[in-house]
Structure 1
Amino acid sequence: MRQNSERRTALTDAAVTVLAKVGARGLTYRAVDVEADVPPGTTSNYFRNRDQLLVAAGKRVHERLSAPAEVMTNPRAELPSKHRLSELLDALVSRLTIDRTVYLALLELRLEATRRPDLAKALTHTVREGFDLSVEFHESAGLPGGRDAVLLLYLALTGLTVERLTLPGAFADISDSDIVEMLVEHTFRRS
């Protein structure tokens, strides 16, 4: 059966929304059909089983969280500096927190991956691939610290994002920009 790629993307985006709203246990074909406003049975025509739908949602989440192509294709757009690193990290924090749905869906997918080896394998591959691209970009841009800095920044921003989306009041007295500045200062001091 020939499939419409735009409809597949719309269904995958609907699955992301369902994950964020009701969690992985509520991700059903019917729930996705309703969210996507398509006839009943449409999602099952595009995804043979729930695992395929979960994996597709995981890939879509990472696509939606990725940096814009114009940033990734030109790492040397500016000279390496604290200001450049701060701008890049601020933009990343914004992408991670502005559309809560996407990152909340990712958290649901990660939890579900603890029970589904195929999903864990797919998400692990996607995360490592994204990390390797980030290292490549960081080094191509001439930013300090190399792979170790990218790893620490990744882990710090992952934690920050979880805090902001799940318990925003826990560190409400510290702005995202202030946290980014601390990270940048530490990164430049260590290099």
Structure 2
Amino acid sequence: MAQNPARRAALTDAAVDVLAEQGARGLTFRAVDARAGVPVGTASNYFAGRDDLLDQTARHIHHRLTPDPVIIGGLLRAPRDRALVTALMHDLVRRVEADRSGYLALLELRLEATRRPEMRARLTTTLREQLEANIAYHLDEGFPGDRETVVVLYLAMTGLLVEHLTLPGVLGADALPALVDTLVARTVPEA
């Protein structure tokens, strides 16, 4: 397998775009090569097979959606209360809106996992690790609420983001900020 990290990142970025635009069925090495603007056959030199490409793309999506340390650093200067959790959820929405393709690609991977048990197991592990890391971070940082609070917040935000990115007219784009505020207010206890 080829080891150029920059090329691998460019290929996984291209895979994210292909997934978001064409779905999992459109994700081929040839489509990734074309999207990345590299010679045909390049992606097959970097990934052992389609499953490897899907796995690495799933992990790469989480990397792309990682909070900006400067923004998070600024937010974390505030007291550990519901207002801070609200600000963090608004930052999450901002990041997802900025990388719409990344989140849509993750949705495509979820759908593909419903049809492929081996992929379901791997994606479940990846998403479970992310959720556990979020729970640990919430508790370690002293945010209000407990493990269950984080799980409910995760489920509510996931549903809100799916609705917003796939059918924004259902809730209305202007309603999103107020919905995030309401969601946090009803999920996270006061400090």
Secondary structure of 1:102's counterpart equals helix
Between the aligned partners of 1:73 and 1:118, the Cα distance in structure 2 is 38
Between the aligned partners of 1:60 and 1:79, the Cα distance in structure 2 is 31
Equivalenced residues, count: 191
Between the aligned partners of 1:173 and 1:3, the Cα distance in structure 2 is 42
Amino acid at match of 1:12: T
Partner of 1:57: 57
Amino acid at match of 1:102: G
Shift of 1:109: 0.5
Shift of 1:184: 2.2
Shift of 1:105: 0.4
Q: Which shifted more, 174-183 or 121-130?
A: 174-183
Shift of 1:128: 1.1
Between the aligned partners of 1:5 and 1:119, the Cα distance in structure 2 is 24
Partner of 1:8: 8
Between the aligned partners of 2:142 and 2:111, the Cα distance in structure 1 is 35
**Residue 116 in 1 paired to residue 116 in 2?**
yes
Query: 1:100-115 counterparts in 2 under 5 A?
Result: 100-115=100-115
Shift of 1:8: 0.6
Amino acid at match of 1:16: V
Contact 1:72 1:137 in 2 (8 A): no
Query: 1:16-165 counterparts in 2 under 5 A?
Result: 16-69=16-69, 77-165=77-165
Partner of 1:179: 179
Q: Deviations over 1:142-170 (max 9, x none)?
A: 21111111111100110011111111000
Which ranges of structure 1 fall in alignment gaps of 5 or more residues? none
Percent identity of paired positions between Structure 1 and Structure 2 = 48
TM-score, normalised with respect to structure 2: 0.91
Which ranges of structure 2 fall in alignment gaps of 5 or more residues? none
Shift of 1:98: 2.5
TM-score, normalised with respect to structure 1: 0.91
CA RMSD of aligned residues (A): 2.1
Query: Are residues 72 and 124 of structure 1, via their aligned partners in 2, closer, same or farther at CA, if it must alter by over 3 Å?
Result: farther
Query: Are residues 175 and 98 of structure 1, via their aligned partners in 2, closer, same or farther at CA, if it must alter by over 3 Å?
Result: farther
Query: Are residues 111 and 89 of structure 1, via their aligned partners in 2, closer, same or farther at CA, if it must alter by over 3 Å?
Result: same
Amino acid at match of 2:80: P
Shift of 1:82: 2.3
Contact 1:75 1:141 in 2 (8 A): no
Amino acid at match of 1:62: H
